[in-house]
Amino acid sequence: MPFELRNIVPWGRNGDEYIRMCALGEKDLRGRILDCAAGPASFAAEMHERGYEVVAADPIYVHNAQEIRQRILEVYDEMIESAHQDRHRFLWT
**Rounded to whole angstroms, how far apart are CA atoms 73 and 91?**
25
Mean pLDDT on 17-31: 94
User: pLDDT digit string (tens) for 42-91?
Assistant: 999 999 999 999 999 998 999 999 999 999 999 999 988 988 899 898 87
pLDDT: which is higher, 38 or 12: 38
> Are 12 and 42 a contacting pair, CB within 8 Å?
yes
Q: What is the pLDDT of residue 2?
A: 60
Q: What is the pLDDT of residue 19?
A: 95
Q: What is the pLDDT of residue 92?
A: 73
